[in-house]
Amino acid sequence: MTQVGTAEAPLRVAIIGSGPAGFYTAEHLSKRGNLVAHIDMFERLPMPFGLVRFGVAPDHQRIKGATKAFGRVAARPGFRFFGNVEFGGHVSLEDLRRHYHVICCATGAQTDRTMGIPGEDLGRSHPATEFVAWYNGHPDFRDCAFDLSVERVVVVGVGNVAVDVARILARTAAELEKTDVADYALEALRASRVKEICVLGRRGPAQAAFTNAELKELGELEGADLVIPAEDAALDPLSREALEAANDRTVSKKVEILQELARRPPAGRPKRLVLRFLVSPVELIADDRGNVASVRLVKNALFRADDGTLRPRATDVIEELPAQLVFRSVGYRGVPLAGIPFDDRRGVVPNVHGRVVSQETGEPVPGLYVSGWIKRGPTGIIGANKPDAGETVESILSDVAAGAVLQPPDPDPGALERLLRERQPDVVSFDDWRRIDAFEAESGAASGRPRVKVTSVQQALDVMRRAGRG
């Protein structure tokens, strides 16, 4: 039999999802000099890049620069992009098994975790992930409404997403105008009457999940003072002891930055961004219209859990904080894919080094792989997906060498494309996307912004057609 991965029998790879995990997987595969791979990437939206486009904050344009490298991957021979094509809708797992040796899911973590407290579903209480997708112009979220006429907003959680949300709420119109925040969001944020954004950590400063650069940025906002109550910045005895024992320079630096920021007197800027620790919301309390009016908080104390980590435990100190808008930012969560095993407890596809395994037997499912957040859970910066994808590609290559991948009955690249175009006449190719991209950049240049985003599927298709698609 001809060896798969050669010019005579190219390795046919389907990647589901065009975010960083998908593109890094394609990049690793396309950089193997001795491997001939045909890579087809499927994306539900007409726009590629997943979390880089729809998750990374609009005022972090440098991180969005990763898309340049992804564009170079897309330009390599053997790579095709099928945008506006839904896995589980236009194309099924069975279809892919007929046409590919390898199927890799890189769909990220598309929903959010909940806090599990009363009142969580009241009006004006939202998952941060929705707000993020909204201000980033995600077509599914462009019609969301957030009441920014309120005075105080609470953001629950102290990860980088919480910091992004707080920072975007605290930015001045002038700061936002320099970004590619969605046009409708720019308008809404310009009209915002929010005066105070209160970010709540359930543990202490030494356990905060945000990174040091993101923390520093909160102290450099043009229009908002960062306020950290001195007692919240102080370390409790257990944290101090743990920090000394761990000798972790990054965490020590984080605490140092935080305590330095806490000592700064407010400069009287129009907004306040308050960072608090060792508090947990226990209930959201409604006004008479069923909207959040306040948050009941409990003060926590830390204790050492059996695994050695410091965990929060509620004390009997309760406080009611008036707040009319709440974003919970307590982590993302993966969603199941049709026909693919799913670990519901962890919100990931069960796998060993990227090889999907059966949830019941633990045995590998031939030809199925995962990379990125759907593989390891929603942790790590964009760049962390690169080594993660590398590990998956190592598993793929060793299975190719061992003849343990799928043997598709119809590996002809034309057959799959014909099938897709029958089911979805509006397939978006990477060249089509480049036309949309150019349109966004031109619209941005006209208004002094990095780009003005196309935020609906229909608008994307219209732009693509006007820009001369055949």
Establish if 368 lies at the interface with ligand NAP (CB under 6 A).
Answer: no
What tokens were used for 373?
Answer: 């957040």
Q: Pick the stretch among 68-76, 153-161, 236-244, 412-420 that binds ligand NAP (CB under 6 A).
A: 153-161
The span from the CA of 262 to the CA of 228, in Å, is 5
The only residue of 16, 93, 155, 158 in contact with ligand NAP, by rule CB under 6 A: 158
Establish if 388 lies at the interface with ligand NAP (CB under 6 A).
Answer: no
Helices and strands per DSSP (H, E), number in the chain: 18, 18
- DSSP letter at 343 equals B
Supply the DSSP string of 130-199, one letter for each residue: HHHHHHTT-TTTTT----TTSSEEEEE--SHHHHHHHHHHH--HHHHHTS---HHHHHHHHT----EEEE
Which residue number, 352 or 381, has a Cβ lying nearer to ligand NAP?
381
Nearest distance from C-beta of residue 212 to ligand NAP, angstroms = 11
Q: Pick the stretch among 1-9, 68-76, 135-143, 328-336 that binds ligand NAP (CB under 6 A).
A: 328-336
Nearest distance from C-beta of residue 443 to ligand NAP, angstroms = 26
Establish if 381 lies at the interface with ligand NAP (CB under 6 A).
Answer: yes
Burial (Cβ within 10 Å: 0-12, 13-18, ≥19) of residue 174: exposed
Q: Pick the stretch among 244-252, 327-335, 409-417, 447-455 that binds ligand NAP (CB under 6 A).
A: 327-335
The only residue of 53, 142, 203, 386 in contact with ligand NAP, by rule CB under 6 A: 203
The span from the CA of 192 to the CA of 326, in Å, is 15
Beta bridge partners of 105: 16, 370
Nearest distance from C-beta of residue 202 to ligand NAP, angstroms = 4
Establish if 254 lies at the interface with ligand NAP (CB under 6 A).
Answer: no
Establish if 156 lies at the interface with ligand NAP (CB under 6 A).
Answer: yes
Which residue number, 301 or 401, has a Cβ lying nearer to ligand NAP?
301
Nearest distance from C-beta of residue 201 to ligand NAP, angstroms = 6
- DSSP letter at 289 equals T
Contact present, 339 and 93 (Cβ < 8 Å): yes
Which residue number, 30 or 125, has a Cβ lying nearer to ligand NAP?
125
Binning the chain into helix, strand and coil, the percentages to the nearest 5 are 35, 25, 40
What residues between 210 and 229 interact with ligand NAP by CB under 6 A? 214
Nearest distance from C-beta of residue 222 to ligand NAP, angstroms = 19
Nearest distance from C-beta of residue 35 to ligand NAP, angstroms = 31
Establish if 207 lies at the interface with ligand NAP (CB under 6 A).
Answer: yes
Contact present, 392 and 353 (Cβ < 8 Å): yes
The span from the CA of 277 to the CA of 261, in Å, is 14
Which residue number, 381 or 401, has a Cβ lying nearer to ligand NAP?
381
Q: Which residue has the tokens 């894919």?
A: 337
**CA nearest neighbour of 47 among 389, 469, 461:** 461
φ, ψ dihedrals at 419, nearest 5°: -60, -45
The span from the CA of 99 to the CA of 96, in Å, is 5
SS3 label, residue 466: helix
Which residue number, 176 or 365, has a Cβ lying nearer to ligand NAP?
176
What tokens were used for 84?
Answer: 């506006």
By beta carbon distance, the residue nearest ligand NAP is 159
Nearest distance from C-beta of residue 338 to ligand NAP, angstroms = 25
Interface residues toward ligand NAP, by CB under 6 A: 115, 156-162, 164, 201-203, 207, 209, 214, 280, 329-332, 378-381
